[in-house]
A and B are shown apart, each in its own frame.
Chain A
Amino acid sequence: MSTVERGHLGRLERPALTGVLVREIVNFSSYWKASTFSSTVEPTIYLLAFGFGFGSLVSRAGGFPYVEFVGTGTVATAVLFSSAFPAMFGTFVKYKFQRTYDAILAAPVDTEELVTGEALWIAMRAGVYGCVPMIVAVFFGLDLSWGMLLVPLIGWLAGLGWACFGIMIAGYASSFENFNYVVSAVLTPLFLVAGTFFPLSTLPRWAQILGELNPLHQCVQLVRDAVFLNLSWVDLLRAGYLALFAIVLWRIAIHAMERKLID
């Protein structure tokens, strides 16, 4: 209690983060079925549609059987869908309609802790749901490897950045309609030009360079290198890039939410 008596509680305190996480975990117990269903079925459909639809035209891509290429690539899709989207919509709903954040900030929790706790939680979910397409692909012939154990971590790291991205967008958005611009102009292009369904090497040079800046592409590459045991020092750079993406967006998300939540 000595810190309390001095009047200052620190930043990013563990009890505050725990409180935010407990709220999410208890809530998750009431909607996990729906969320797990959509997180499982969606990537499976992508996998089946592209893997078998395209797979009948294209037998190999990037040096791998096409089903395995897509099965590893859609890990990043699942991560994106289970991080950026829930972060955007969930944050906005909790702020605007449920006023949950009013209640949390009246407790000994600061905006920085609130945003951090929410992002950590979404990243954890993204790490788990991100593995689903890979597991499905195993049933369609993807070989098991020890590198697969790294995939939840890669999903977590990428998910952390996308969660902060979603929270940031919700922080700057004034209405739900604003999300349409972000989905159409940012997320859809990044999702398509990530090397998920076709290798970026088929694109013009300038598009390849831009593609390297796409965090989703870095996530796809990391997953493939891990699963196919091709890890090298380049992957450290990729992981570093994802960490940088997460840290920068984390700070911007905190700033955006402070503007929104504190008058």
Chain B
Amino acid sequence: MSASGSDPPPPTIEVEHLVKTYGGVAAVNDISFSVRRGEIVGLLGPNGAGKSTTMKALTAQVIADEGELEVLGFRLPGESKAARAECGVVPQLDNLDVTLTVEQNLLVFSHLYRVPRAERKEAIEGAVQMANLAARRHDKVDKLSGGMRRRLLIARALVHRPRLVLLDEPTVGLDPQVRQELWALIDALRVQGTTILMSTHYIEEAQRLADTVLIMSHGKGVAGGPPAELVFEHAGREALEVYGPPARLAEVQAEAAEAGLRTRRTGTSISILGVDANGHPFEGERRPANLEDVFVLLTGEEIE
């Protein structure tokens, strides 16, 4: 490391023009982004947007057809193994060894991630504490609840104190309460300075946790930036939620279009976006614009 004081730190992840095609269909079609040290970056998009493929390319479990990938200064796929040694990976699908105890799972991964013998005990203890599973350390995984398993999955990825953590849909399929617990855990990692790349299709998750969001749709990056800036740039400060019977909503939608305002249907209501300026005739509930508005505006599709 010979960086002089004025140079910005090198990016932890650099993805340039990543393309991955399966049988003629592009799962990822020219994605570029970078993750700086200490940052949490969220890949946000519906299922099938190419998030998981992108994540797997970063551990060389998917080999890119085109594009340049660099992780922690290592070029992929050739130097992937060295990069993986310093990465923690939390997969979307639980792949814990279910007949082993909490501690045994951590022990196995302390070996796979080459934690030196002298530090092993401490590393496992730290992970048990982090997952808040001290009372269940000798229990087999198949006796744990879904939330506990997910915490263990995250702790397992941290047993070697990685510089970078890749979280693929960290809270998918969990209760709202458990989800918040995990958000606290991820936030604690941020405080420690761990760099995180996370994929999610939960708008709230991206909005709360990510410093930078890349919105993905059909394998392409649609827009990227800090969530607040993305919202302001594309959806303005506030949106107006108009409720009514379907016929009324259709009318409102037509009128808004005439007035040059953008709308989106949200089940029982219609959201009129970009209503910051006065001088429109609509009445409804004002609410802050959010990433979901941005997503729908940019892609024309609903996310969940």
Contacts and interface: CB of A to CB of B under 8 A. Distances in A.
Contacts of A263: 20, 22, 53, 56, 61-63
B93 A9 contact: no
Contacts of B74: 7
A246 B73 CA distance: 38
A44 B53 CA distance: 50
Contacts of A100: 95, 97
B85 A4 contact: yes
Nearest to A22: B111
A57 interface: no
Nearest to A105: B61
Given A22-B108, A30-B100, A102 B91 contact: yes
B81 A9 contact: yes
A99 B104 CA distance: 17
Given A99-B95, A106-B84, A23 B108 contact: yes
A7 B75 contact: yes
B184 interface: no
Interface in A72-120: 98-100, 102-110
Contacts of A102: 61, 91, 93, 95
A37 interface: no
Contacts of B107: 22, 26
A26 B79 CA distance: 30
Contacts of B98: 98
How large, as a class, is the contact surface on chain A? 20 to 34
Nearest to B77: A262
A14 to B, nearest CB: 10
A98 B99 CA distance: 11
A18 interface: yes
Interface in B50-105: 53, 56, 59-63, 73-75, 78-79, 81-82, 84-85, 87, 89, 91, 93, 95, 97-100, 104
Given A106-B91, A261-B61, A263-B61, A23 B112 contact: yes
A15 B108 CA distance: 12
Contacts of A105: 59, 61
A263 B61 CA distance: 6
Contacts of A22: 107-108, 111-112
B295 interface: no
A103 B95 contact: yes
A23 B59 CA distance: 20
A262 B81 contact: no
A263 B23 CA distance: 12
A108 B114 contact: yes
Residue among B81, B93, B100, B111 having the largest count of chain A Cβ atoms under 10 Å: B81
A86 B85 CA distance: 29
Interface residues of B, number: 35
A109 B22 CA distance: 25
A8 interface: yes
B219 to A, nearest CB: 14
A30 B99 contact: yes
Contact of B93 (A7, A30, A99): A99
Contacts of B20: 263
B183 interface: no
A7 B95 contact: no
Interface in B92-145: 93, 95, 97-100, 104, 107-109, 111-114
B75 to A, nearest CB: 7
A175 to B, nearest CB: 19
Contacts of B60: 262
Contacts of A199: none
A236 to B, nearest CB: 37
Contact of A9 (B59, B82, B97): B82
B99 A27 contact: yes
B89 to A, nearest CB: 4
A262 B59 CA distance: 10
A3 B82 CA distance: 9
A139 interface: no
B97 A8 contact: no
Given A263-B56, A263-B61, A108 B113 contact: yes
Contacts of B100: 26-27, 30
Contacts of B59: 105-106
Given A22-B112, A103-B89, A263-B61, 17 more contacts: A7-B78, A9-B81, A18-B111, A19-B108, A19-B111, A19-B112, A19-B113, A22-B108, A26-B107, A27-B97, A102-B91, A103-B95, A107-B85, A107-B109, A110-B81, A262-B62, A263-B22
3 closest Cβ pairs, A-B complex? A19-B112, A7-B79, A106-B89
28 contacts: A4-B85, A7-B73, A8-B79, A8-B81, A15-B114, A19-B108, A19-B111, A19-B112, A22-B107, A26-B100, A27-B99, A31-B99, A99-B93, A102-B93, A103-B89, A103-B109, A106-B59, A106-B61, A106-B87, A106-B89, A107-B84, A107-B85, A107-B109, A107-B113, A109-B81, A109-B112, A263-B61, A263-B63
Interface of A: 3-4, 7-9, 15-16, 18-20, 22-23, 26-27, 30-31, 98-100, 102-110, 261-263
